A and B are shown apart, each in its own frame.
Chain A
Amino acid sequence: MTWITKSTAAPDSTTILRGLVSKKRVPLGSDIYNRLLGTLFDEAAALDERRIDDWIAMLAQDIIYQAPIRLTRTGPNRDRDVMRTMFHFDENYDSLVMRSGRLQKSAWAEDPPSRCRRFVTNVRVGERDTPGEYEVVSYLFLERSRGDSPENENTTAERRDVWREVDGEYRLARREIIVDQSVLGMSNFAVFL
């Protein structure tokens, strides 16, 4: 997994999605797989229940958290549809802490807060070369209810994570969120994915 950022808007900077890269798969139902799956569920619960400090505690200090934009492409370039030069999120640990701090003060976008359900499925796990680090790819379906609107906003994405074992727990060290929409139907990303 690489996170190369090129500063250019030219179309030849697009890249493919890729998904799970590791060749050393961690089998479904194995102890490590189950513990990582449990971690993803715990993470979704922390975010859905707006226990933002609990979520921050799950992050590694060197985290890179990005959501590149998606383009519609055709012809020979039809699969090069992830633009890793521009992002909806482009975060590090400090900026995520800044965002979480804001949420606890006057962040009108989430006050009143949206009611979210994060459905995490299609989890695939692979070992990384660094011992104790795992590549975890999952699908995310986010339903978000806001105010008195009976129509939820929602979005779907693939998340390409690296989770690192620290003191018997897993910390999120990388997350690349591959959204499926080239034009987001959600009016903001004031919630984490």
Chain B
Amino acid sequence: MLQKSKLVLRDGTSLDDLIIRESNEVSLRVMTDEELYKLEMEKIFAKTWLLLGHESEIPEVGDFIVRDMAEDNVIVARGQDGDVHVSLNVCPHRGMRVCLGEAGNKRVHQCIYHGWAFRPNGDFIGAPVEREKMHGNDVDKKTLGLKKARVHLYGGLIFATWNVDGPSFDEYLGDIKYYMDQLFCRTNRGLELLGPPQRFTLPCNWKVPGEQSGSDGFHTLTLHRSLMEGGVMGGTAESIYDQAPGMYGVDVSCEQGHSLRCLEAEKTFKMFADVPFEGKSTRERLELLAPPGITKEMIPELFENLTEDQVAQLATIPPQVGGMFPNILIAFIFAPRTDGGSSGALSLHAYVPKGPDKVEFVNYLFAEKDAPEQMKRDMLQNSIWNTGTSGVIEQDDADVWPVIMKNARGAVSKDMTLKYQALHGHERPEGWVGEGLLYPGFTKDDTQWNWWLAYYDLMDAV
């Protein structure tokens, strides 16, 4: 018997009525309810680690970018100490935004309203007309800095949280870290962001794209049919459902709600179908088919930065798509080009809530820092062609999500449910090394259901 949730909305609806654990269903009402949205801001977005960018965006002391932790606008800056600091972009004096630009370099951030000034690390410097003590007669300047978030860099990715005493970043990642490291911590100099993110808004709740980022593999066959028609993935347009390209592999996830789909590259993409892997060593396999974004020259670095087992996985069944709870999608994919080449596309999205019915899609595109310039150029194009604003894959996602949102509003349709009843159940494949919840075979609903369970846990917490 599952313990009842203590979370009850004003009209008497319990969290258990919305996230129905007995039958693995989620009420569509979760997408529109304003009370629930406000609770999510407090219980999820003010509590978990959130992605804000990459340190390659702010290489010099004083460099800053302005980003959003849900609806809280923050300054992400490199301080005098060389560290990355994240501070709330709200002047503690009268509530104005201190920094109005999106990016730049400043040693002093001065509010344009009354002139209170702050250092890149958020510390208060002073208010104009120092002798008049306009910051307060008996107020210690040390207490007047911008509100600071806790920061963690992971493979150069900038994460922050308001939960100063909460779980460490590694605790937040949990068992999925073993697999994430294969994407983000595999080379000596790491990833580079290829430019500031694409940003655009969609008229839907953040959880519509959010639950998909819990490794919804199945939608690819139908929504992204054009990948098969275009010959990008194995199989032909006529045999999509027979061959089900890209559906078989090992889905991994963990109780924190993160997940990754590990796919055998040779079976996923038509262009690699003739690459014979049988009887080959890890190094030989990598030479034949390096993971997306990796050059032959970087292969020795994989062995320096990862364990032998992790490299072996990268060589045979690399993690390619997935997500980090609550709002990050990961796509580190093989991306064949129209000119016949392939150097992969490395993309992360943050789905930033902007109200119950609006989400900002922030699309970060990467390459390995040590990749040759032409490869970076190719990867940027690959990523733009496939993901984000104009990406031929994600155009179609952006078409579906707002329609689901419309459907969540009707008096009757709001009580319809999202169903996660095609379950495999945890099963450790033979010879598998990593930990976590493992789902080998055809991709099913397990990882997405784990996403909702992670949501339930945070929402249920007092």
Task: Enumerate chain A interface residues (CB-CB to B < 8 A).
Answer: 5, 7-14, 67, 69, 71-75, 77, 83, 85-92, 94-95, 97-99, 101-102, 105-110, 147, 182-190
Contacts and interface: CB of A to CB of B under 8 A. Distances in A.
Nearest to B101: A74
Contacts of B193: 9
B101 A73 contact: yes
B199 A90 contact: no
B264 to A, nearest CB: 25
A91 to B, nearest CB: 8
Contacts of A108: 223, 396, 399-400
B56 interface: yes
Contact of B396 (A87, A101, A107): A107
Interface residues of B, number: 57
Contact of B196 (A7, A86, A184): A86
Contact of B381 (A88, A90, A109): A90
B100 A72 contact: yes
Contact of B230 (A12, A101, A109): A101
Given A108-B396, A147-B403, A189-B390, A86 B105 contact: no
A92 B341 CA distance: 15
A189 B102 CA distance: 23
Nearest to A6: B195
A21 to B, nearest CB: 23
Contacts of A67: 390
B165 interface: no
Contacts of B229: 102, 105-106
B50 interface: no
Given A11-B63, A147-B403, A183 B199 contact: yes
Interface string B364-375: 010100000100
B398 A9 contact: no
B contact patch SS: mixed
B395 A190 contact: yes
Contact of A73 (B102, B198, B237, B384): B102
Interface stretch (B1-9, B200-208, B251-259, B325-333): B200-208
A9 B57 contact: yes
Contacts of A106: 225-226, 229
Contacts of B63: 10-11
Given A85-B196, A98-B338, A185-B200, 13 more contacts: A7-B194, A7-B376, A9-B54, A9-B192, A9-B195, A11-B57, A88-B389, A89-B384, A90-B384, A91-B385, A105-B225, A107-B395, A188-B389
Contacts of A183: 199-201, 360
Given A10-B58, A90-B381, A188 B104 contact: no
A86 B196 CA distance: 7
Interface of B: 54, 56-60, 63-65, 100-105, 192-203, 223, 225-226, 229-230, 237, 338-339, 360, 365, 367, 373, 376-377, 380-381, 384-385, 388-390, 392, 394-396, 398-400, 402-403
A185 to B, nearest CB: 6
A106 B229 CA distance: 8
A141 to B, nearest CB: 18
Top 7 A-B residue pairs of the complex, sorted by shortest distance between their CB atoms: A86-B195, A184-B200, A109-B395, A85-B195, A74-B101, A189-B390, A11-B103
A73 B373 CA distance: 27
A75 to B, nearest CB: 7
B100 A88 contact: no
Contacts of B225: 105-106
Given A183-B200, A188-B390, A7 B367 contact: yes
A90 B392 CA distance: 13
A186 B199 CA distance: 10
A86 B127 CA distance: 38
A182 to B, nearest CB: 6
Contacts of A110: 395
B256 to A, nearest CB: 28
Contacts of B399: 108-109, 187-188, 190
Interface centre among A74, A110, A187 (most CB of B within 10 A): A187
A73 B100 CA distance: 8
Given A10-B63, A109-B396, A90 B380 contact: yes
Nearest to A74: B101
Contacts of B100: 72, 74
A95 B380 CA distance: 13
Nearest to B105: A11
B389 to A, nearest CB: 4
B390 A184 contact: no
A50 B390 CA distance: 17
B104 A69 contact: no
Contacts of A99: 392
